[in-house]
Each structure stands twice: as C-alpha cells, then as structure tokens.
Structure 1
C-alpha cells in the first residue's frame, strides 16, 4: 500500500498478497517453506500457518510430500474474472481477431500498471512460432511498443519509471532515460511507437495507445518477425492498426456513471 494513502495497512492481508505475488512470479518453480519465509522476512511458523490456510482455500497448492508450494487454481479464477468483467477487453476482442486475420501477425492488448504493461489479450499468428506473449505477462513499459505508446501519452516528468538505469531485455532496449525520452518524442510525432527488437530479439512491433481514457492506460500492438517486415508490409500494418484503434475507440467512449477503476 502506498505510504501516502492515508490508510493503515492490515499486516496479515499485506503478507498474504506478498506471498501470492511471490508464488505467481516464480512460475513453474515451486518454493520451499524456508525460501518463502526468508524472502518475505516472516517467521517460519507464521509462514507455515499462512500456507496451510491458503491451501485449504485453494489459493496455494502443495505437492504430495507437502514440502513444495505453488500458486493455486483459485488465482486463475480471479484472474479470468478480471478479464471477463472488463468492458474494454470484452469489446476489443473481435477487433483484435479481425486485425490478426487481415495481417496474419500477432496482435496484443495490454494495460499500463505502474512501470510495467500487462498483456490482457493476445491473438497469435499462425505464420511463425509463438513468442512469449501470454495473457498476464508483465514487461517493463520502456522496453516495447505497447509500453512506449502509453508512456508517450504522458509528460516526461510524469513517467512511471524507476530511477537510474533501466532494465535491458535485449541489447536494443533503451536503458538510459535520455534515449527513451527521445524515442517517446518521436512516438508523439508519428502517432505510434516502434519496437526495434527491444523486447524480443528478432521481433519488431508497432504500438497504438487507445484514447478512450485520458491519459490512455490501454494500447494495442502488432508484433512481426523482422525477417517478414518489408517496407510495404510495415506500411500495411500501420494502416490496419490505425483503423483498428479507431474502431475500438469509437465503441468505447466514456459511459456516464460507469466506474472509474483507476
């Protein structure tokens, strides 16, 4: 909880959330009790009790030996509920399908969450092997087309970026603030962002902010292997994605009385 929220955090709730996020971040690497206790700075006995409570609720699962722990199936239910209840995701899906069908490339919808973007929907191309772009994946906003399209919607002094050198996903990722700011200025000028193998080596991308919110929190992108990206195909991608953005924005104008989840 932010320090300036004015609300005192509930220790047990904060600890539970931290544990679930830690297990989720480990992916297919289960954790042992001692690892979790040490990582979160929690007494071993307290961590054991918390794990057993969450296992009973199916938020955490354990192997047959009772010594390894991972995220439970209830987390999946909650995650899909988030997507199913979001009108923006629900409305955008058929337009993502259409863009993927027309271009034959991979199309994404993502949302800015602090310094990262989180994938909300993906339509994979059948023309080339899958990239690591699953729904729920989180990547630094500075490192790709989706994030740069959304960062460019904000003033430079209001960017949600960490101080110091930025994380590199590939050798082409912007790691310096000056280089990133120059790129964002170019994004504002042309109206869309370009990912030049900055997230995944061998993959380029074009990102477009969806301006049904101000500043925009959602964006769409098209990813394409650099070997398939000739000048003519790039121009077609930009044209189709611009049209897709216009279609989505036209049906997602703000609704009076709707909740503002931000």
Structure 2
C-alpha cells in the first residue's frame, strides 16, 4: 500500500482544493496557458521524474516546474493510484512506478530496438554457440523481444513475448543493477513483491541488493537455475545516451550439456550489448 506523508516543509495553510491544479500564470515552464492544465502539469511531472537519476522530493518538483505544491501533491496522488509514480515514504520522495515502465517498454518495442538488435543477437548466438536473446523491462518483469536459438540446442522459456520476473532473469538483473538504487527500492519495497519459479533466487530486498552488488562488481549479471532448473544465463544491459538501461542481451545454455563458464561468455555478451548501445545513440 502506498502511504502519503506530509513533508516537513508543507505549509498547512496551502489549499488542497482541486481548483489549484490550474497553473500559476507565473509558471516559467509554460509559454502559453494550456487548454487542459492538469494534463499539461501531469505530463511535465512525469517528464521531470524520467530525467532524474532517482526519486525526487515533491518540493523539488514544485520548485523546478513552477507548479503550486498543493497541485503537485494532488497530481502525484492521482498518478500513484494508477501506478505511474510510487511514493517512498521513508525518504519522502517520488519515483516512476510500474505503469511508467510499461509505457517505456511499449515505446521501446515500437522503435527499431528489435530490428537493430536482431542481427547482434544472431551474431552472438553464432559466436558463442548457445541461444541468445534480447529483453526489455516492463514493471517488475522482463519481456523478451528477440530470441535466436542455437542449432541443436533445447527450447528455452524465454521465447519472444514471454514475461519473466526481472529479479530472477539475467537480463532483468543486468538492467536492475544499472538503475538508481532508489528506483530498485521503489520496485521491490518488501518480500511480497518477489515472485518465485524454482525455489532459488532472492526473496527479499536485502538479498536482491546482494545480487545486484555482485552484478556491478562483475560487470555482468548471471543466474543459475533460478528461471529454469539446469540452465544458466549471462546478461549485460544496453544503455541509452543518458546511461539508462533500455534493454539487456543474454546468452543461456544447459549447464549439464556444456562446460561453458560465465566469465568466458561475458566478454561476447558485453561486446554485443555495447554495440547495440552505440547504435541506439
């Protein structure tokens, strides 16, 4: 449940009447008065949050955008009810919610990411001799948008269109490790947000933090039997020009059928991910 707490800098005398959603005539971000002021302010708040490296305080949003603070709280509450933002009560900050990630994933899927990534995924599978795939983040899931199955290799659960828990998949861990830590906390606030597939993998925020810490140290994400028993994966994030993880590339293999080690696969996956990052910029 999202709980809203008044920030210590709130002025109790500020009116919370919905009329306050109408923009101030001195709003520096508005060249002219919009016909639908609430919609204009909502989109500006979402755009502001999307440009930040982590969740932001309501007063910072108000000060930067020139929107009355009472209006900011009304709009944030409405967006939170629909999942577009989430309130981190312990820090009195607001970050993007899972619905915003859904929009980002939809945009990514409609852009040339799959087209640009397909030849790189294919080349990666040929180079390593194992199946490779490309995935994007949608909320707390990863969605697979490209898969290249290597010859004579078993079918994987990560077919195009399949969603898997991000905290279990190598692609998801690679992207989560590249997100601001505050954003990860907003996505995984407690144990109830952790799905399970094979009985392995992190089940609470502290365990996920340990997994992501190792991912950052290694420079790649790995998973062993947490998505499908007997299979291992290595994943590396694909970053846009701001350093935001828009996707991840991964290789998956059957542990009993090959002597591949994660450290030996990682350079090839990283090379392909870096090249896709370069092509997207």
- Category of TM-score, reference length = shorter chain: 0.5 to 0.7
Structure 1 residue 234, shift from structure 2 partner: 3.4
The Cα shift of 1:82 comes to 8.0
Q: Tell me how many residue pairs correspond in the alignment.
A: 179
2:148 corresponds in structure 1 to 123
Q: 1:181 aligns with which of 206, 209, 233?
A: 209
In structure 2, relative to structure 1, the CA distance for the partners of 1:175 and 1:229 (3 Å cut) is farther
CA deviations over 1:60-102 (Å, ceiling 9, x no partner): xxxxxxxxxxxxxxxxxxxx9985x421111111111111111
How far is the alpha carbon of 1:6 from its aligned partner? 9.3
**Other-structure match for 1:207:** 235
- Give unpaired runs (5+ residues) of structure 2: 1-75, 83-105
Whether 1:248 and 2:276 are equivalent positions in the alignment is yes
The two structures, once aligned, show a CA RMSD in angstroms of 2.5
Residue by residue over 1:33-61, the C-alpha shift from the partner in whole angstroms, topping out at 9 and shown as x without a partner, is: xxxxxxxxxxxxxxxxxxxxxxxxxxxxx
TM-score between the two structures when normalised by the length of structure 2 = 0.58
Question: Which deviates more from structure 2 when the two are superposed, residues 201-210 or residues 158-167?
Answer: 158-167
Structure 1 pair 162–136 and aligned structure 2 pair: CA distance change class (3 A):
farther
Answer yes or no: is the 8 Å Cα contact 1:141–1:148 preserved in 2. yes
- The corresponding residue for 2:182 is 157
Normalised to the residue count of structure 1, the TM-score between the two structures is 0.62
Residue 225 (structure 1) aligned to one of 245, 254, 257: 254
- Which residues of structure 1 form unaligned runs of 5+? 9-79, 254-262
Partner Cα distance (1:222, 1:101) in 2: 11
Equivalent of 1:91, from 98, 116, 128? 116
Counterpart of 2:40 in structure 1 is none
